[in-house]
Homo-oligomer: A and B are copies of this chain.
């Protein structure tokens, strides 16, 4: 590995060195240990000493070096996002949420995609975390659903928060997305429109959300005294292509469904495609509901009725939980899935 160029090597000789803890200590007339206490919020500093130090910090623009601090703490100020979700919109929303939550904290976000199927994930993740001595990680589906990864975090002493549709861990390690409620909302919406022959396209069985979204949908049917016809449940893979394939099969049935709830927007876009091929109008002949409310939902035609998941908000909460700054006063409803009605759903055809 090529050693990096020394900082300032190309600078213009000004060499206005950043102040260190020693400078602050000298200017404030205290030991660096006391400055350290102020930085770390120790209560064992007299009020006037603290104020004097804080004044010097403000004047000099001193900011502690995270690397030096990390070396002494045996732990960095980096937070990792470990994910295997291939949807770019999900990834970016989650990142933005995490950054929202981390703003002003001095922590930085390091992104780390992985492949859950890979036999090397575990050692690979371990090496990443140990090398960088990560403060903590946020795990998103489906890696978040792997208990071995959570155990690994405990073992190596790395904080973690798992984002998942159901509680898989202690509350301090969990942010629940409650996908089941989203499925319920979808069912209620379609039933209120008069639909009785409903179908579901699931994500891959390796994602917990696939089962939760289906479960919630069935809950909603049960409320109306209905049950899902097993022939009306198709397995997809959360991809556009799998949505097309599943919808083709459903629409070829003898008494085809009048409404399809797809496990995500990508597959719902595939359903619209299959409906078009079959000469069916949406929502005239077929209602379609998606899940996520990513950008694609409002770019396709007809615009998709879908379940919005507040991914960015979830990310913010995850970061706050990880850093122990959770703000419990916030409205907990903000983090629940909610129905967004657009053009792809309508009354059941006569």
Binding site for B on A (CB under 8 A): 1-12, 18, 39-41, 63, 65-68, 70-71, 73-78, 88-89, 91-93, 95-96, 99, 105-106, 108-111, 113, 127, 130-133, 135, 154-157, 159, 240, 266, 269, 272-273, 276, 295-296, 298-301, 323-324
- Closest residue on chain B to residue A107 by CB atoms: B1
12 contacts between A and B (CB under 8 A): A1-B39, A1-B40, A1-B41, A2-B324, A4-B135, A7-B73, A8-B157, A68-B71, A88-B91, A91-B92, A240-B295, A295-B296
A155 to B9, CA, bound (A): 10
B residues less than 8 Å from A323 (CB atoms): 2
| Among candidates B71, B106, B130, residue contacting A71 with C-beta atoms closer than 8 Å | B71
Closest to A71 in B: B67
Partner of A296, one of B2, B6, B296: B296
**Minimum CB distance partner of A243 in chain B:** B299
By a CB distance below 8 angstroms, the chain B residues around A111 are 95, 99, 109, 111
**CB closest chain-B residue, reference A156:** B11
Residue contact A110 to B110, C-beta cutoff 8 Å:
yes
Residues of B close to A3: CB separation below 8 A? 40-41, 73
Q: Which 8 A/B pairs are nearest by Cβ-Cβ distance?
A: A88-B92, A7-B74, A8-B157, A88-B88, A88-B89, A3-B40, A269-B299, A67-B70
Report which of B105, B132, B299 forms a contact with A240, defined as CB distance below 8 A.
Answer: B299
- Chain B residue contacts of A295, Cβ below 8 A: 88, 240, 296
Complex: A66 Cα to B4 Cα, angstroms: 12
Residue of B nearest to A303 (CB): B273
Given contacts A88-B92, A135-B4, A299-B300, is CB(A157)–CB(B11) below 8 Å?
yes
Check A108/B92 contact, CB under 8 A, given A1-B40, A71-B68, A323-B2.
no
Assuming A1-B39, A67-B70, A88-B89, what are 13 further A-B pairs, CB within 8 angstroms?
A: A7-B156, A11-B155, A11-B156, A11-B157, A12-B155, A67-B67, A88-B93, A91-B92, A99-B111, A106-B131, A108-B110, A108-B132, A110-B110
